[in-house]
């Protein structure tokens, strides 16, 4: 079954956007084109650095696929992959793809709540994970999932080991025959309701976006891309990301931790030409550059995306870091906007780019769903050759219009040139420096506490992260609790750390609607007023 209506499939094929390539042969094809060129550089799970050529990457992937097959993974199976930025990551996804199996791209920060959801929703056959990373033992999660687990770590007692040593002994398997219109993998969204939604992307649609991104970003075999953000994130994966670089014959360099000092060291040592950051990291680079005096002379383009990059910060990139800025406004659901290499400085600094494809359809509408006059602010709706028509598990009426447009929840303005300016958001989500948090998911967790009557999570502006999360909690009659208890409670429920509210505040009651439901819109207004009054007070007292 196709993920897109037949007339659109026909259109995108006829126009040459969708080809017959698939991810099952992606790594082998790249090896045929770029054989001995350097494909991936990075530490393995023990911290030892590896440099793999395209040929080695393809060979290891074919062998690792053999190991997966021996564990019962086959065509069409879902495999949850939760790995940090280690060189084995690239081999692991190559292996899953080769079998015609389908990765579910978890982030390293996800915990039990998210992983359980991914496994249950996808019916995953296996999990590929690692051992202790960043002070957390990922095997802990596997222990409770009751699923075939392959661990990229030394000497696991209970799980099957999945390292270079194990792959080297395995027999390679041939690439599966896969339908290009079929689901290639599940991406995860930040989500607005409940736990992250799973996003089914097909081989044809995603490969189109990868090729087009590589072209727009002018990637060549000389491109050297530093991966600072989590490698599984849609931005680092495909905009143009690791897949765009591998498609172009360039080199991926994996940065094991996102600190400016480690990133700067790698930029200088590896002669990095391209890097992608979220706004808080870009600000950290700007703050640390005058202190650390990094050699950034090889860096041509710094991409910034995932959350709004203010014009004030955007202005500083070229003069202070000596490279070009590219703004990227994308979503794992599809639509990706780029500022272009030949855009004026005004557009690069003041907009979040324009859609990558001439076949992207963008509408900016009011609350009733009618187009607003050109240039005015409204909600973004989009449809196109790489934007989903439904989440995994069905169409939800909140996110998709009858005629198949995806409602991203972003408030934008569109310039005559097609460039979009993101002006806000109309979805219950907190964008904490590019990490998306669903308000409802955290509210549900809090409300499950015996002493919590109601809870509301709201975004408050933050100089560094863009936004932080503020929890407002109404306790049951006579109950007493403090923030520490609730933070511990969320941790016990295995909620990812970045989703734990930055601030807690306790209230007597919430405003309600006519039928007695919490009026979130009104609540948000009150909280925003309260928080701005509070910050003003603080500023006055420090002056």
Would you say 267 and 295 are in contact if contact means Cβ atoms under 8 Å apart?
yes
Q: Which does 239 bind (CB under 5 to 8 A by kind): ligand AMP, ligand DBH, none?
A: ligand DBH
Select the span of 124-132, 215-223, 322-330, 450-458 touching ligand AMP (CB under 6 A). Answer: 322-330
Left, alpha or beta for 508 (phi > 0: left; psi -120 to 50: alpha)?
A: alpha
Q: Of 226, 232, 269, 233, which Cα lies nearest the Cα of 250?
A: 226
Tell me the H-state helices in 338-427.
Answer: 345-350
Site for ligand AMP in 206-245 (CB under 6 A): 234
Which CB sits closer to ligand DBH, 328 or 495?
328
**Separation of alpha carbons 324 and 341, rounded Å:** 8
- Does 190 engage in binding with ligand AMP (CB under 6 A)? yes
Would you say 426 and 433 are in contact if contact means Cβ atoms under 8 Å apart?
no
How many residues line the site for ligand AMP (CB under 6 A)?
21
Tell me the H-state helices in 130-240.
Answer: 139-145, 164-168, 203-216, 234-238
User: Least distance from C-beta 150 to ligand AMP, angstroms?
Assistant: 27
CA distances from 360 to 11, 384, 448 (A): 13, 4, 42
Among residues 231, 332, 473, 486, the one that binds ligand AMP under rule CB under 6 A:
332
Residue 342: CB atoms within 10 Å:
7
Q: Which does 363 bind (CB under 5 to 8 A by kind): ligand DBH, ligand AMP, none?
A: none
What does the CA dihedral 374, 378, 384, 390 come to, rounded to 10 degrees? -160
User: Least distance from C-beta 172 to ligand DBH, angstroms?
Assistant: 32
Shortest-Cβ-distance residue relative to ligand AMP: 190
Which residues make up the interface to ligand DBH (CB under 6 A)?
234-235, 239, 305-306, 328, 330-332, 336
Which CB sits closer to ligand DBH, 30 or 328?
328
Among residues 307, 356, 496, 531, the one that binds ligand AMP under rule CB under 6 A:
307
Q: Which does 336 bind (CB under 5 to 8 A by kind): ligand AMP, ligand DBH, none?
A: ligand DBH
Residue 129: CB atoms within 10 Å:
30
Q: Which does 216 bind (CB under 5 to 8 A by kind): ligand AMP, ligand DBH, none?
A: none
Would you say 159 and 139 are in contact if contact means Cβ atoms under 8 Å apart?
yes
Q: What is the DSSP letter of 497?
A: G
Q: How many CA atoms lie within 13 A of 119 on its CB side?
A: 21
Select the span of 55-63, 257-265, 293-301, 326-334 touching ligand AMP (CB under 6 A). Answer: 326-334
Peptide bond into 67 cis (omega under 30): no
Among residues 305, 355, 385, 501, the one that binds ligand AMP under rule CB under 6 A:
305
Which CB sits closer to ligand DBH, 59 or 343?
343
CA distances from 76 to 124, 169, 260 (A): 10, 25, 40
List 414's β-bridge partners, or say none.
Answer: 420
In this structure, is the dihedral angle defined by the CA atoms of residues 139, 141, 144 and 147, taken in order, positive or negative?
negative
Among residues 42, 94, 260, 330, the one that binds ligand AMP under rule CB under 6 A:
330
Residue 95: CB atoms within 10 Å:
32
**Separation of alpha carbons 140 and 215, rounded Å:** 42
Site for ligand AMP in 349-388 (CB under 6 A): 352
User: Least distance from C-beta 410 to ligand AMP, angstroms?
Assistant: 5
Q: Of 408, 402, 397, which Cα lies nearest the Cα of 363?
A: 408
Which CB sits closer to ligand AMP, 294 or 306?
306
How many helices (H) and strands (E) the chain has is answered by: 17, 27
What DSSP element (H or E) covers 365? strand 361-365
Which CB sits closer to ligand AMP, 63 or 431?
431
Which CB sits closer to ligand AMP, 13 or 377?
377
Q: Which does 65 bind (CB under 5 to 8 A by kind): ligand AMP, ligand DBH, none?
A: none
User: Least distance from C-beta 107 to ligand DBH, angstroms?
Assistant: 11
Q: Of 148, 126, 152, which Cα lies nearest the Cα of 138?
A: 152
User: Least distance from C-beta 396 to ligand DBH, angstroms?
Assistant: 18
Among residues 87, 141, 422, 495, the one that binds ligand AMP under rule CB under 6 A:
422
Which CB sits closer to ligand DBH, 119 or 332?
332
Q: Which does 524 bind (CB under 5 to 8 A by kind): ligand AMP, ligand DBH, none?
A: none
Among residues 61, 148, 189, 357, the one that binds ligand AMP under rule CB under 6 A:
189
> Tokens 């659901």, residue?
333
User: Least distance from C-beta 265 to ligand DBH, angstroms?
Assistant: 25
Q: Which does 308 bind (CB under 5 to 8 A by kind): ligand AMP, ligand DBH, none?
A: ligand AMP
- Does 408 engage in binding with ligand AMP (CB under 6 A)? yes
What are 234's two structure tokens? 């849609």
**Separation of alpha carbons 18 and 205, rounded Å:** 6
User: Least distance from C-beta 399 to ligand DBH, angstroms?
Assistant: 15
- Does 306 engage in binding with ligand AMP (CB under 6 A)? yes
User: Least distance from C-beta 281 to ligand DBH, angstroms?
Assistant: 13
Select the span of 72-80, 135-143, 311-319, 331-339 touching ligand AMP (CB under 6 A). Answer: 331-339
Which CB sits closer to ligand AMP, 19 or 313?
313
List 63's β-bridge partners, or say none.
Answer: none
Shortest-Cβ-distance residue relative to ligand DBH: 330
Tell me the H-state helices in 464-519.
Answer: 483-492
**Separation of alpha carbons 454 and 474, rounded Å:** 5
Which CB sits closer to ligand DBH, 66 or 433?
433
- CB-based contacts of 159, cutoff 8 Å, min separation 6: 139, 142, 149, 150, 151
Write out the residues near ligand AMP by the rule CB under 6 A.
189-190, 234, 305-308, 327-333, 352, 408, 410, 422, 425, 431, 436
């Amino acid at each position: 079954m196709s993920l897109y209506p037949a007339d659109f499939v026909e259109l995108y094929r006829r126009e040459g956007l969708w080809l017959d390539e698939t991810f099952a042969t992606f790594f082998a094809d790249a090896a045929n084109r770029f054989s001995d060129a350097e494909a991936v550089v990075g530490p393995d799970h023990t911290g030892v650095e590896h440099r793999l050529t395209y040929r080695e990457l393809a060979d290891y992937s074919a062998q690792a696929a053999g190991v997966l097959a021996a564990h019962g993974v086959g065509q069409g199976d879902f495999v949850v992959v939760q790995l940090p930025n280690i060189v084995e990551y690239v081999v692991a996804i190559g292996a899953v793809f080769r079998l015609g199996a389908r990765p579910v791209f978890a982030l390293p920060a996800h915990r039990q709540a998210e992983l359980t959801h991914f496994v249950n929703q996808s019916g995953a056959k296996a999990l590929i994970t690692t051992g202790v990373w960043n002070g957390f033992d990922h095997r802990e999660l596997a222990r409770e999932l009751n699923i075939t687990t392959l661990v990229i770590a030394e000497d696991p007692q209970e799980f099957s080991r999945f390292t270079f040593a194990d792959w080297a002994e395995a027999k390679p398997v041939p690439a599966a025959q896969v339908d290009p219109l079929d689901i290639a993998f599940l991406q995860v969204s930040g989500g607005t309701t409940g736990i992250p939604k799973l996003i089914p992307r097909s081989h044809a649609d995603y490969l189109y976006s990868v090729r087009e991104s590589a072209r727009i970003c002018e990637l060549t075999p000389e491109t050297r891309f530093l991966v600072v953000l989590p490698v599984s994130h849609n931005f680092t994966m495909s905009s143009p990301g690791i897949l765009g670089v591998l498609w172009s014959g360039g080199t991926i360099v994996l940065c094991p931790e996102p600190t400016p000092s480690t990133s700067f060291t790698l930029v200088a040592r590896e002669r990095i030409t391209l890097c992608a950051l979220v706004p808080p990291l870009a600000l950290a680079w700007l703050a640390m550059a005058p202190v650390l005096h990094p050699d950034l002379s090889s860096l041509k383009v710094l991409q910034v995306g995932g959350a709004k990059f203010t014009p004030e910060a955007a202005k500083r990139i070229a003069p202070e870091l000596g490279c070009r800025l590219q703004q990227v406004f994308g979503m794992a659901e599809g639509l990706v906007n780029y500022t272009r290499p030949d855009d004026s400085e005004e557009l690069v600094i003041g907009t979040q780019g324009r859609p990558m494809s001439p076949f992207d359809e963008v509408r900016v509408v009011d609350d009733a769903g009618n187009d607003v006059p050109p240039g005015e602010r409204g909600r973004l709706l989009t449809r196109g050759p790489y934007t989903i028509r439904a989440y995994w598990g069905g169409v939800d009426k909140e996110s998709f219009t009858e005629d198949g447009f995806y409602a991203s929840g972003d408030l934008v303005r569109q310039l005559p040139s097609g460039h979009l300016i993101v002006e806000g958001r109309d979805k219950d989500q907190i964008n904490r420096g590019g990490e998306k948090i669903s308000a409802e998911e955290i509210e549900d967790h809090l409300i499950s506490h015996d002493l919590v009557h109601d809870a509301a999570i709201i975004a408050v502006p933050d100089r560094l992260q863009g936004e932080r999360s503020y929890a407002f909690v109404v306790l049951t009659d006579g109950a007493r609790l403090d923030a520490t208890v609730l933070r511990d409670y969320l941790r016990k429920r295995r909620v990812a750390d970045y989703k734990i509210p930055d601030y807690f505040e306790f209230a007597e009651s919430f405003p309600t609607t006519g039928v007695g439901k919490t009026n979130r819109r009104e609540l948000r207004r009150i909280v925003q007023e309260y928080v701005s009054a509070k910050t003003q007070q603080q500023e006055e007292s420090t002056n």
